[in-house]
Amino acid sequence: MKKVTLAHGNGGAENQELISKVFYKAFENEILAKSEDAAIIDNGRLAFTTDSFTVSPIFFNGADIGKLSICGTCNDLAMMGAKPKYLTCSVIIEEGFEVDKLETIVNSMKIELEKNGAKVVSGDTKVVPKGSVDKIFINTTGIGEVQKEGISSNKVSTDDVIIVSRDIGAHGATIFASREGMDMNTDLQSDCASLWPQVEALINENINITALRDATRGGLSAVLNEWAVQSDICIEVNEEAVPVKDEVKGLCELLGFEAMSLANEGTFVLAVKKEDAKKAIEVLSSFENSSNASIIADVTKQYDKKVVLNSPWGTKRFLELPTGELLPRIC
């Protein structure tokens, strides 16, 4: 690894290598080492996270960069069982950017903040010469109040089953289909959504949640691989049970992608105690965004730190972390 390439931002193997060899090495501390969606600070009371958004195109079916920037950070908090409360918003704008587009983006942010019951309480604006950034980059940082303690991707065990909240890959597929040059006619929409309402409902129903993670860059495959490593377990996925929309499957067929590696912005993965799995599905199914939630995998000890994909005809293979330059900027 001598130079940073686009592959280093893929949410997969190269991305992890860059983070661990450069950032974790320098910033090493016990909170960061847990590698959770958000850091748990203040004696477990608060969750704290940050994310930058550089998606291209900035407006796409189902959302825009503004909605994405609030969902992304609030969802990282929600994944630690924390209610999103306070956000900062830092914007880098390319000279020449239209103000009415900026207003549309900021309005999307406002609507999404309301859904989370969160506020932007501090911010920063920079304008840079044309060509220095691609239109607009947004960074949001968030603090949330932990409502349920102990959710951790380091604690998944054979007492758990794995659930996915809805069909996978819609965001990645939408962004790819709307890329310049693709000229694809599709009704596909990004799954971009705030997940706190679902998480709150699960907590209120006393579902025994071990771990939660939104399947953003690197998709379902990255989440499951990270959990397998962090919790020292084997995750055995029933391939048939993983919900994927036909349009997403079609795009994957066309372009040679795997839906399991495509990004999501409103889909999360849950590890819940076996006895609570049915109830968790019931709770999730009551939400439009997660009406097709499914139990997709068992946790075993068959292969250490590995994800196994079981095909409907009885063959199996490892589901590896995505590698290489998958997509242009997706979040």
Partner 1 sequence: MEKELELNDLYDGFRNPEVMKAYAKLIEEDASKLDKTINIMEVCGGHTHTIMKYGVPQLLPSNINFIHGPGCPVCVMPKDKIDSAYALAMQEDIILVTLGDMIKVPGSNGSLQDARSKGADVRFVYSPMDCIKIADENPSKTVVFFAIGFETTTPMTCSLLKTVIAKDMKNLYFHVNHVTVPEVMEVLVQSDDCKIDAFLGPSHVSVISGSKIYEPFPKKYNKPVVVSGFEPVDVMQSIHMLIRQFVENRSDLEVEYKRLVSFEGNLKAQEMIDTYLKKVTFKFRGVGEVPLSGYDLKDEFDKYNAKVIYEKILPKETPKENKACKCPEILKGVAKPTDCKIFGNVCTPTNPVGSCMVSSEGACAAYYKYGNLLK
Q: Does residue 265 interact with partner 1 by CB under 8 A? A: no
Q: Does residue 236 interact with partner 1 by CB under 8 A? A: no
**Which is closer to partner 1, CB of 197 or CB of 250?**
250
Shortest distance, position 289 Cβ to partner 1, whole Å = 23
Shortest distance, position 191 Cβ to partner 1, whole Å = 19
Q: Does residue 134 interact with partner 1 by CB under 8 A? A: no
**Which is closer to partner 1, CB of 161 or CB of 251?**
251
Query: What is the sign of the dihedral through the CA atoms of 247, 331, 296 and 7?
Result: positive
Give the integer Cα–Cα distance in Å for 99 and 70.
20
Q: Does residue 298 interact with partner 1 by CB under 8 A? A: no
Only segment of 29-37, 43-51, 53-61, 306-314 that touches partner 1 (CB under 8 A): 306-314
Shortest distance, position 318 Cβ to partner 1, whole Å = 5
Contact characters 175-214, partner 1, x per CB under 8 A:
------xx--------------------------------
Helix (H, G, I), strand (E, B) or coil at 48: strand
154-181 burial, b at 16+ Cβ within 10 Å, e below that, comes to eebeeebbbbbbbbbbbbbbbbbbbeee
Q: How many residues does the chain have?
A: 331
Q: What residues form DSSP beta bridges with 254? A: none
Q: What residues form DSSP beta bridges with 144? A: 47, 84
Q: Does residue 132 interact with partner 1 by CB under 8 A? A: no
**Single residue of 253, 275, 282, 304 touching partner 1 by CB under 8 A:** 253
Contact 283, 209 (CB under 8 A): no
Q: Does residue 320 interact with partner 1 by CB under 8 A? A: yes
Output helix, strand, coil percentages for the chain, rounded to the nearest 5.
35, 25, 40
Q: Does residue 317 interact with partner 1 by CB under 8 A? A: yes
Q: Does residue 167 interact with partner 1 by CB under 8 A? A: no
Q: Does residue 246 interact with partner 1 by CB under 8 A? A: yes
Tokens matching residue 27: 């910033």
Shortest distance, position 6 Cβ to partner 1, whole Å = 8
Q: Does residue 308 interact with partner 1 by CB under 8 A? A: yes
Q: Does residue 7 interact with partner 1 by CB under 8 A? A: yes
Give the integer Cα–Cα distance in Å for 109 and 105.
6
Contact characters 10-29, partner 1, x per CB under 8 A:
---xx--x------------
**Single residue of 43, 100, 187, 313 touching partner 1 by CB under 8 A:** 313
Burial of 235 (0-12, 13-18, 19+ CB in 10 A): buried
Long-range contacts of 101-106 (CB under 8 A, 24+ apart): 101/58, 101/59, 102/136, 104/59, 104/64, 104/66, 105/58, 105/64, 105/65, 105/66, 105/136, 105/138, 106/66
Q: What residues form DSSP beta bridges with 64? A: 59
Shortest distance, position 113 Cβ to partner 1, whole Å = 37
Q: Which residues contact 68 (CB under 8 A, 6 or more apart)?
A: 53, 55, 192, 265, 331
Count of positions on this chain that bind partner 1 (CB under 8 A): 29
**Which is closer to partner 1, CB of 2 or CB of 25?**
2
**Which is closer to partner 1, CB of 129 or CB of 181?**
181
Q: Does residue 247 interact with partner 1 by CB under 8 A? A: yes
Contact 239, 220 (CB under 8 A): no
Give the integer Cα–Cα distance in Å for 250 and 173.
10
Query: Footprint of partner 1 on this chain (CB under 8 A)?
Result: 3, 5, 7, 13-14, 17, 181-182, 240, 246-247, 249-250, 253, 255-256, 308, 311-318, 320, 323-325
